[in-house]
Structure formats: C-alpha cells, structure tokens
Structure 1
Amino acid sequence: MRKTMNKKSIIKKVISLLVICFLGVMSYKMYQKMSHKKQVAQQIAMLPAFSFTDLEGNTFTNSDLKKNLATIFVYFNSECDYCLHEAQSIRENLSQFDEVHFVFVSIEPIENIKKFAQEQQLLGVENVTFLQDASFVFSQKFDANSIPYLLIYNKSKKLIYKHKGQIKAETILQILEEQ
C-alpha cells in the first residue's frame, strides 16, 4: 500500500515538475519574441541601411532612393494574387503618388520580378523601382513575415505605417495625407 502511495506521489511530483518546466520554457519563448519585436520596431523606426539588386543587376542602397519623397516598400511575390491586386491598385492611382517612391522587393529571380513589373505596366515608371533580395534579408531586417507587406516612410525616412496583407492605393493615399 505504501509503495503504491509513493509511486503516486512520485508521479504527481514528476508531472508537476514537467508542467513547471513547460511553463518556464513557454514564458522564456514569449519574452524572447517580445524582445525581438521591440528590437525590430526600433530598428525600422527610421529607414535602416539596406542593399539589394535592381533589375539590371546593379546594387541599390539607401543612397539610391529618390530624395525628398516618401518611400513605400512593397514586399511581394509575382505569383501572389493579393500582390497582383495591390500592384494594379497602385498603377491605377500612380498620378496621385507624385510625392512617393515605390520600392517593390522580392526574393524571386530577377526574370520573374521583371515579368511582373512588365505585366503590371510598372517597369520603367520613374517613381517605381523593383529590387531583388537574393540574400533573404528584407524579411528579417524589416520584420516582413507575410506577403504582401508594406512599409511607408515619410520624406524624413521615418516609419509612419506598416501593413501585412493587401492594401488599396486609396488607403495608402489617406495615410500619406494624414502625415
């Protein structure tokens, strides 16, 4: 009888210890995630330094951004329907974005990016740039964990808005007007 009670007692203690360990690990993981989010938020509050490749194979960095314009990064994939609709909405309203430099970034091969730009009639548009992120750093540096993903920086290169998922050009214009 005593052996049975000892076994039950030991099992209860082991289960309790496992639950405490599990809760400790989960708490630590949550703390790490919150710390990372805070660090990334600070990192992207002002436009961070970056280096990607343009469609001609040249390096494109912060210094290549158009001066005195708001900068809007659009992280996309050419096979994403939401990205397609977002690009169409931007193209249809381009005349209203004369104070904006759009920077479309994708991890895809340059040929795919170029084809997307051509199909969306955005290739060669003065205030639109397409870039390749062959090193997969955009998602880490700018906390982009979905496609499409949009970041709006004002003329001073301060982050004023970020959005996960599709967004309409009209909404972007409203955000820019509020600044």
Structure 2
Amino acid sequence: MKKRLLIFVVLLVIGLLSWMGYSSVQKLDQKSRSEVIVQNLSSLTNNLGLEIANTDQPTIFMYFNSDCHFCQWEMEQIEKNKEKFQSYQLLLASFEPKSEALYFLQQYNLAHHYVEVNPDSLTSTISGGVPQTFIYENGSLKKHFKGEVKIEAILEVLE
C-alpha cells in the first residue's frame, strides 16, 4: 500500500512540475510574440483589428483601465496639457466595456481618442498590466513605458 501511495505521489509531483514548466514556456512564448507585435504600429493595429488614418504620424498608444489610479493621473495630466498633444495621434484603449471606458475618458475630455478593440485581443497582444504607453514615430516603436509615466517624459521622446 505504501509503495502505491509513493508511486502516486511521485507521479503527481512529476505531473505538476510538467504542467508548471509548460505554463512557463507558454507565457514566455506569448511575451516574445507580444514584443514583436508592438515593435510596429501597423502590426499592433492589425493585430487589434484597428483601422487608423495615419500610421506614419507620430502616435501615442495608451493601454489603460478606469480603476487604475496611475491611469487616472495620466489622463488628468494629458487633459491639462492637451495643446502639447495636438500634433500627435493619441489612441486610448482599454479591456473594459466600451461604456465604462468612454465614461472614464469623458471626465477628462478625451473620449474622442478612444479606440474600441476586442478585450481578448488587447490582453493577449499587450502583456503586462496598465498603464502602458507606446510611442511610435514613422510607424516604429520609439519608446515603451510600463507603468506611470510623466507627460514630460512622453513629450521628450517625441521632440
């Protein structure tokens, strides 16, 4: 009886380790695919199913959530400095329902920059949490900020 229990425990441990290894490899693979996709504005927008007017215009793509305090602060800062963003294409995307995202952005007069994307596509394309800011120039990724970023840092990259 003890021998069977020992065999069962060993097989269980081997199974768990195999599953954990497989999961880790899958996550690393997804992360590397994500990093390749976000390198180019066209590949990002194609992957998200977005049709944007000008992929050659300097673009700021922000991934946000209305419950995120850092996102709230960033949107507030963009609103206060919106004249500095006029020559850039600003795209704001969230995985939350459209109505919630738009309600949030309306508080900062930024709803017209909202781009609707499939939440599953967004979360599988961009790995990591919110906020994330991607700055594109000539269609190529120039800078990627993970987490809270000051508006001055964004503008510095674009100047």
Aligned residues: 153
1:164 equivalent in structure 2: 146
Q: Is the Cα contact below 8 Å between 1:71 and 1:101 reproduced in 2?
A: yes
1:118-146 CA-partner distances (Å, limit 9, x unpaired): 4313456xxxx22223x3232323x1542
Structure 2 residue aligned with 1:147, among 102, 111, 130? 130
Structure 1 residue aligned with 2:2, among 2, 8, 21? 8
Structure 2: tracts of 5 or more residues without a match: none
Is the counterpart of residue 173 in structure 1 residue 143 in structure 2?
Answer: no
**1:81-120 matched pairs, under 5 angstroms:** 81-106=69-94, 107-110=96-99, 113=102, 115-120=103-108
1:70-90 CA-partner distances (Å, limit 9, x unpaired): 211112234443222101112
Amino acid at match of 2:115: L
Cα distance in 1 between the residues matched to 2:111 and 2:18: 52
Cα distance in 1 between the residues matched to 2:22 and 2:142: 31
Q: Secondary structure at the match of 1:21?
A: helix
Cα distance in 2 between the residues matched to 1:138 and 1:144: 9
State TM-score, norm by structure 2. 0.76
Q: Is the Cα contact below 8 Å between 2:64 and 2:130 reproduced in 1?
A: yes
2:115 equivalent in structure 1: 131
1:90-142 CA-partner distances (Å, limit 9, x unpaired): 233334445421111234335851x4444313456xxxx22223x3232323x
> 1:68 offset after TM fit, Å?
4.2
RMSD over aligned Cα atoms: 2.7
Structure 1 residue aligned with 2:49, among 48, 51, 71? 51
2:25 equivalent in structure 1: 31
Q: Secondary structure at the match of 2:139?
A: coil
In our comparison, the structure showing a higher alpha carbon Rg is 1
Q: Secondary structure at the match of 1:121?
A: coil
Residue 24 and residue 123 in structure 1: after superposition, are their counterparts in 2 closer, same or farther (change >3 A)? closer
List 4+ stretches of structure 1 deviating above 4 A: none
